[in-house]
Amino acid sequence: MLILSNIHKSYEGKPLLRGISLEVGEGETICLLGPSGGGKTTLLRIIAGLENAEEGEVNWNGKDISSVPPHKRNFGLIFQDYALFPHLNVFDNVAFGLKMQKLGREEIHQRVMKSLQQVDLIGLESRDVIDLSGGEQQRVALARALAPRPHLLLFDEPLGALDRKLREYLLAELRSILQESGVPAIYVTHDQDEAFTLADRVMLLHNGEIVQRGTPAEVYARPHSGWVAEFLGAGNVVQGKILKDGLVETIFGTVKMPVEERQAEGSPVTLLIRPRDVRIGNLSSPLRGTVKDVVFQQDRFKVVLKGGFYFYLSDPVNVGEEIGLKIEMGKIQRLAE
């Protein structure tokens, strides 16, 4: 089991990681999800031993490995740019780490072929890696990481350079490989679809801190803050002001929701209104807006009002049209500021 305790790191004199603590259990896949520049890759490099934390511990199976060099940690790394050796063929790329461990020729052959089988590359072992597609190269990189039988796999945006269709295919493949191998993994990404597809648990990193953690279903259903809800695309994050009788005033009109008694009238509040809970009403509705844009998305239309509020319809409305809204009030969620 990997345990990080109170990891701190600065960059150019500014805090980058602020007291990160997390655990990765046996066979578990954790996704570090957050915007670019938020410290995800730095945290991964600290785990791998490529960088040192300024404070805190990296603990593996009860031992602090903060001072253990990278090659002795037996953690496999997979990067976005593959980091393959262009002068070597597929077999020799996968075998490289095994040769460094000075394993016997027969064992190297068995492990390489087993790894290539896991990533569905049997038959390509003699192919030059520069002649492979991007998806095939990424699978070679994964096979190379699996061959030494790593304690832990570390993925740094490995599918970011691939097109959508290939990325979706490899995500499904990677999910199966991780489940079958049982190797615990940490997967860094800014893409929520990747995180939700792969992760047993998601950890959202923002301003150097883990601001929410849980299963994909948990974090999507109950975002802790407006930032989390917006980053996940969970719905409309609406700012409002508390009025009397449990009403909240927003730029789109008033909504009614339970309010804590200690919340004073005039206090600000942040609400989450999910698109699936919005319907068109009549113009006498207390909630209304003017249509700014209508975008066709597969089997539905995304309707965006002035101010950014959006929802979906099976039939389009006209840009510039003023419409009333009906919202399932009981499903409105209150968020942290």
- Report the chain's terminal Cα–Cα distance, integer Å: 35
The model's pLDDT over 208-255, given as tens digits with 9 standing for 90+, comes to 999 999 999 999 999 999 999 999 999 999 999 988 877 899 998 888
Look up residue 243 and give its DSSP letter.
-
Question: Looking at residue 61, what is its pLDDT?
Answer: 93
User: Residue 318 and residue 323: Cα distance in Å, rounded?
Assistant: 10
Residue corresponding to tokens 């030494």 = 148
What pLDDT digit, counting tens, does each position of 146-180 carry? 999 999 999 998 887 778 888 888 888 889 889 98
The pairs formed by 310-318 with CB atoms below 8 angstroms and a separation of 24 or more are: 310/236, 310/275, 311/236, 311/275, 311/276, 311/278, 311/279, 312/275, 312/276, 313/280, 317/280, 317/291, 318/291, 318/294
Q: Is the predicted pLDDT of residue 326 greater than 80, yes or no? A: yes
Q: Please choose, from the candidates 276, 277, 273, 259, the residue with its C-alpha nearest in 3D space to the C-alpha of residue 226.
A: 273
Determine the Cα–Cα distance for residues 157 and 172; give it in Å rounded to an integer: 15
The helix or strand, by DSSP H or E, that contains position 250, with its residue range, turns out to be: strand 247-250
- To the nearest 10°, report the CA torsion of 227, 230, 234, 238: 90
H/E segment holding residue 40: helix 40-48
> Where do the domains of the chain lie, and which CATH numbers do they carry?
2-228 (3.40.50.300), 235-335 (no CATH)
For residue 258, pLDDT over 80 is answered with no
3-state secondary structure of 184: coil
Mean pLDDT within 42-69? 95
Q: Which helix (H) or strand (E) holds 30?
A: strand 29-33
What pLDDT sits at residue 262? 59
Position 13 scores a pLDDT of 84
The stretch 311-320 carries a mean pLDDT of 95
Q: Which pLDDT does position 337 carry in this prediction?
A: 65
The answer to whether 188 touches 32, Cβ cutoff 8 Å, is yes
What percent of the chain has a predicted confidence (pLDDT) above 70? 98
d(CA 252, CA 304): 12
Q: What is the pLDDT of residue 328?
A: 86
Asked if residues 222 and 234 have their Cβ atoms less than 8 Å apart, the reply is: no
